[in-house]
Amino acid sequence: MAFQKRHKILRASMCLDRSIAILKCAGVWMPDLDRPWNLCYTIFACLLQFFLFFCIVLAEVSYVFTVMDDTNRTIEATVLLFTHIIQGVKVLTIVLRQGRIKRLIKFIDGPDFTTLDPQKHDVIEKTINIATIIEQAILGAVIPAAMFWCIVPAFQSDTSLPLKTVFPFDWKINPMFAITYVYTSISVTVLAVSDAAENFVVSGLMIMGSAQLDVLSFALQNIGRNENNADYEETITCIKHHQNIIKYVNELAEIFGTTILCQFITSSIVVCMTLFKITLTTEAVEMVTIIFYLLCIFVELLMYCYPGDLLINKSLLISEAAFPNNWSGDIRSRQALLLTALRAQKALLVNAGGVLTVSLPTAAAVVRSAYSYYTVLRQKMNDN
């Protein structure tokens, strides 16, 4: 009874609660509200995204057009612009496919992925705790990076804002400078934190998929060890669990695959530009800020690729766990386990737009490509 009470308060998706709460505050995630309040939130979300996102991106694009004849300033201006553009893709994905994402979350919290077995329960609980710690660490790292980015202009000799932007008014005169500086600082901070939350929603969903593979592997290894002679029933339960995991991961890939591909392409460009900017920076405070930003990009890549790598490796281990070690006894169970082992030899993976596999080798390839772009750009600048 004590375990059942404990189980009722455990949800696999509880590691996503903090990120979803941030997305609600940022106007990205629609909360469950009654119809009048639902309309009010929609208006709030549209206004927030318009003033803190759309206006900033428009101002950044305008600035790029004004400095296109200066390569150094263009590169400096497009570092955050590319980040904001890919964030717009993430926001649209979450907003337009929010119903599917919510059904996915209900699926991992539902009876198909729920267990009353204490040992299986502990596996899920351990994964939830680890994912929650990772989420806190990521959000904790993003906030100081955003703060550094906002503070750096205050230490520079020339008058500047946290973002390279062009506004349809003279922001250098008081009190417009103070107002614009606060506005852009709030935008940078809010967008940075919400971007981290958007990334972790995808990462957390993949982590929970890998946890279900651990539970399935444990269940397969324990078939035939119970004394209730219910091997076939346990085998069928495991097969259904495996099919549900496959269905879950395929849906996850369909929802976020294109977005992850855009993230990989943009990350390669941004890393290249950030490395180039580091070589040009002489101010210590600005150097620290850029390094913080570069680390955030690397962490962002790992947030996608490490859970994707876990899915691949753990799904392949299912074949070993399912292969029947004892051919005596229930023949039906052995035949079903053999088919499961054969199916599990095909890795369970998330494809980024059907082009790239979300895995650690892909993250390494993105970084290598970024460095190659950087060396070409550096060589071009030296030749000029």
Which residues, 6 or more positions from 288, have their beta carbon under 8 angstroms from its beta carbon? Answer: 148
Q: What is the pLDDT of residues 31-56, one digit of tens each?
A: 888 878 888 999 999 999 999 999 99
Mean pLDDT check: name the lowest of 78-82, 222-226, 227-231, 309-313: 227-231
pLDDT for 226 beyond 70: no
- The predicted structure's pLDDT at residue 321: 85
At residue 344, the pLDDT reads 86
pLDDT in the model for residue 264: 92
Q: How far is CA 356 from CA 184, 194, 205, 254, 256, in A?
A: 35, 25, 19, 13, 13
Among residues 304, 234, 317, 233, which one has the least CA distance to residue 264?
304
Alpha helices in the chain (DSSP H): 2-8, 17-25, 35-49, 55-66, 71-96, 98-109, 118-151, 176-221, 231-280, 284-322, 331-344, 360-383
Q: What is the extent of the structural domain holding 303?
A: 2-383
Tell me the C-alpha distance between 156 and 384, whole Å: 28
pLDDT for 4 beyond 50: no
- Weakest-pLDDT range from 4-13, 88-97, 125-134, 352-361: 4-13
Handedness of CA 118, 313, 308, 360 (dihedral sign): positive
Using an 8 Å Cβ cutoff, are 288 and 327 in contact? no
Are 265 and 306 in contact by the 8 Å Cβ rule? The answer is no
Q: Distances in Å between the alpha carbon of 280 and those of 81, 218, 290, 292?
A: 19, 53, 11, 16
Q: Region 174-203: what's the mean pLDDT?
A: 91
pTM: 0.88
End-to-end Cα separation, the chain, in angstroms: 75
Q: How many domains does the chain divide into? A: 1
258, two tokens: 């294109």
> Could you give the 3-state DSSP secondary structure of residue 283?
coil
Query: Among the listed ranges 146-155, 161-170, 249-258, 337-346, which one has the minimum average pLDDT value?
Result: 146-155
Question: pLDDT (tens digit, 9 = 90+) per residue, 230-251?
Answer: 678 888 888 899 999 999 999 9
**Is residue 68 classed as helix, strand or coil in its secondary structure?**
coil
Q: Quick count: other Cβ atoms within 10 Å of Cβ 43?
A: 10
